[in-house]
Chains A and B, each alone.
Chain A
Amino acid sequence: MDRAKLEILADSAKYDVSCSSSGSSRRNVGGLGNACSAGICHSFTQDGRCISLLKILMTNDCVYDCEYCVNRRSNDVKRAIATPDEICTLTVEFYKRNYIEGLFLSSAVYKNPDYTMELLLETVIKLRKLYGFHGYIHLKGIPGADQALIMRAGEYVDRMSFNIELPSEKSLRLLAPQKTKKNILTPISMIYGEKDADKSKKSRFLPAGQTTQMIIGASPESDGHVLRLTEGLYNKYQLKRVYYSSYVPVIKSNILPSVPTGLLREHRLYQADWLIRFYGFKVDELVSPNENLSTEYDPKCAWALKHPELFPLDVNTAPLEMLIRIPGIGVKSAHKIISARRYGRLTLEDFLTMKIPLKRAIHFITFTGKYFGYKTDKAITTALKAIETNGSYQQLTLFSSPEVLSSVLRGEL
């Protein structure tokens, strides 16, 4: 593939947020590569996102006209199309040099959904069979393509995603008129059905499951709405991840906002999503249906402030599931506390030695009855707000670094 083509096809794919290649263990049986369940970042872009996969479009030449997309038919951009062999060669050569963990292949709708899906299918079959590639492949499915093509592709790739795109059917109709809720949800539910039917570890069908993504801030839905949709998707289809992508205006439009949605909103949604998946929180505890998450406090902090009856908690007696509900205390710190408690009662000094973050937590805990936080609610909330404005929140601190960290913690090395 030449440089100019690569630039067009990579440039068009970059807004896709799914950077993670984790969740799949594929052993190398003689060919080239394996998929590492911990997820490896090979580089970081100048905006701080992890480069793990070669994220590229088969083509950016689209017959659809989604309002928010640079590649929409009515937009005047340079178009390019790659051949399956070009994609395969580039993937393999990049992989051999350890530039990437695998391929994230996606495409605009070229000619029609079936035609595009066939091109994608041909590419992944070639990559596995002809090029002997055993690395990670994430394929973005084309909504509305023939079901048999979609299911067949699932046998060759690690993960597939059909993007929800927008958090409601109404917004979808307005902003992505050729896409329908049915065309997106049918393959998601079909894939779920197939995976559910064959739960054996050896199943070669999408070992890393499916994910989805939606754009936040291009349409009016609240965080409460978005998170309920998310929770539903996790429960109903066992999705591995739901990704949020803050809206960035990349193209002129009369019906879209002209300013980008701040990263703070995306950040708060990921925090809430994280609490739902790993901390045992229910959406109802975090935000009501028509409400947005607090901008002032992180969702756990906001929750704790609403529950004065539960705090302060004593760090020497609280069970694990309550320790992780203390603002500022993560799963890792909670486990440290539980381990260290076995050797004796913990004091404030012990927490300092153990480097347990206390900035937030101090106002919500006692050490065998001793409380060191501020005395009045007002002083506490002022202090907590100050942390938020000083603390530099970053989009990726959430879903990139913990994965790196946790893999080390799991003793994966």
Chain B
Amino acid sequence: MIFIIDGSADGLFTALFNSYLLKQFPTAVSCGDVQLSIDDECVDVLTNKDKADRVFKKLQKILPNSEIERIFIALKHGDPAKFTIVFEYLKLIVDENKNLSQKYSDKRVLRFDNLVHQVLIEAHRFKGFIRFSKAPNGIYYAKYEPDNDITSLILPHFKERYKNMPFILHDIKHDVLAGHASGKTKIVCKKIKALEIEDEFSSLFKAYYNASFIKERKNEKLMRGFMPKRYHKNLPEKDELI
């Protein structure tokens, strides 16, 4: 049996509530947009705020805040299998009524931990890989395509760094936009075409990038391990046209 949820955290919490109510536990939890095979029995879960809140309160009783936070971080993962993984993990926590977040010898804990870890690693990487271009109106604009929905995780870092600088972060894969001006930030989900901005410094940076390379030690594989190819298209130093 597969539970179909709307993709929100509340939807997932409702699913957990329903399964205890019905005493029926799904083999998988998924969001509408996944292909299912014919013989899967599907049950639609209608997100219900009250049910979700009750689950959330229960979790808050068992887990410290830092662990609650990690649930939401895991849900930012780009892999649709995340719903099942988080569901299984939460079910374990509720069943045992104990904070088992460090019981790494349990596969459910480990899978959950990996989700969180991958999201955090990517967020950390993008603190480095974000590239702003200066638009003629003085706003700095960055477009990027991360695997996971990390914008809300990296925004505080850029807000702190560029206090007096208006900027826009644009995740064109997840259609998330974050704006900052004079210490105020806002995040919206909206499909907007990416901007193309010419910036004279991008070619200087590319020149710097190429000059920094020690030819005797060429090792593209190592480079790509740290900076995977799929990220290259939004990095000016990797742009062949500049």
A residues with CB within 8 A of B: 1, 3, 6-7, 10-11, 14-15, 27-28, 30-34, 36, 38, 40-52, 54-55, 90, 93-94, 96-99, 101, 248, 260, 263, 336, 339-340, 342-344, 346, 350, 353-355, 394-396, 400-401, 404-405, 407-408, 411-413
Chain B interface main SS type: helix
Within 8 Å CB of A412, what residues of B?
124
Residue in B closest to A12 when the chains form the complex, CB atoms: B211
Nearest Cβ on chain A to B92's Cβ, whole angstroms: 12
In the complex, which of the residues B66, B132, B215 contacts A97, with contact meaning CB atoms closer than 8 Å? B132
Please determine whether A32 and B164 come into contact, CB atoms closer than 8 angstroms.
Answer: yes
In the complex, which of the residues B120, B161, B222, B226 contacts A413, with contact meaning CB atoms closer than 8 Å? B120
In the complex, which of the residues A45, A96, A355 contacts B162, with contact meaning CB atoms closer than 8 Å? A96
Instruction: List residues of B (168-223) whose CB comes within 8 Å of A's CBs.
Output: 199, 201-205, 207-223
Q: Name which of B104, B207, B213, B225 has the most chain A CB atoms within 10 A of its CB.
A: B104
Give CA–CA (A376, B142) in the complex, Å.
58
In the complex, which of the residues A52, A96, A343, A405 contacts B134, with contact meaning CB atoms closer than 8 Å? A96
Within 8 Å CB of B102, what residues of A?
339-340, 342
Give CA–CA (A101, B162) in the complex, Å.
12
Within 8 Å CB of B106, what residues of A?
353
Instruction: List residues of B (84-131) whose CB comes within 8 Å of A's CBs.
Output: 100, 102-107, 110, 117, 120-121, 123-125, 127-131
Give CA–CA (A96, B200) in the complex, Å.
13
Question: B25 on the interface (CB 8 Å rule)?
Answer: no
Nearest Cβ on chain B to A398's Cβ, whole angstroms: 12
Q: Which 7 A-B pairs have the closest CB atoms?
A: A48-B222, A350-B105, A47-B217, A10-B211, A339-B102, A42-B128, A44-B226
Residue in B closest to A412 when the chains form the complex, CB atoms: B124
Within 8 Å CB of A96, what residues of B?
132, 134, 140, 162, 165
Within 8 Å CB of B220, what residues of A?
46
Question: B235 on the interface (CB 8 Å rule)?
Answer: yes
Within 8 Å CB of A395, what residues of B?
217
Please determine whether B222 and A47 come into contact, CB atoms closer than 8 angstroms.
Answer: yes
Please determine whether B219 and A394 come into contact, CB atoms closer than 8 angstroms.
Answer: yes
Question: B133 on the interface (CB 8 Å rule)?
Answer: yes
Give CA–CA (A100, B225) in the complex, Å.
20
In the complex, which of the residues B103, B157, B204, B223 contacts A44, with contact meaning CB atoms closer than 8 Å? B223
Residue in B closest to A3 when the chains form the complex, CB atoms: B207
Give CA–CA (A38, B157) in the complex, Å.
12
Question: B62 on the interface (CB 8 Å rule)?
Answer: no
Give CA–CA (A407, B165) in the complex, Å.
26
Nearest Cβ on chain B to A45's Cβ, whole angstroms: 5
Nearest Cβ on chain B to A180's Cβ, whole angstroms: 29
Within 8 Å CB of A411, what residues of B?
66
Please determine whether A45 and B105 come into contact, CB atoms closer than 8 angstroms.
Answer: no
Please determine whether B222 and A42 come into contact, CB atoms closer than 8 angstroms.
Answer: no
In the complex, which of the residues B66, B129, B164, B213 contacts A14, with contact meaning CB atoms closer than 8 Å? B213
Within 8 Å CB of A94, what residues of B?
201, 204-205, 208
Question: B68 on the interface (CB 8 Å rule)?
Answer: no
Q: Name which of B153, B213, B218 has the most chain A CB atoms within 10 A of its CB.
A: B213
Nearest Cβ on chain B to A394's Cβ, whole angstroms: 5
* Known contacts A6-B204, A94-B201; A355 and B110 CB within 8 A of each other: yes
Within 8 Å CB of A28, what residues of B?
160-161, 163
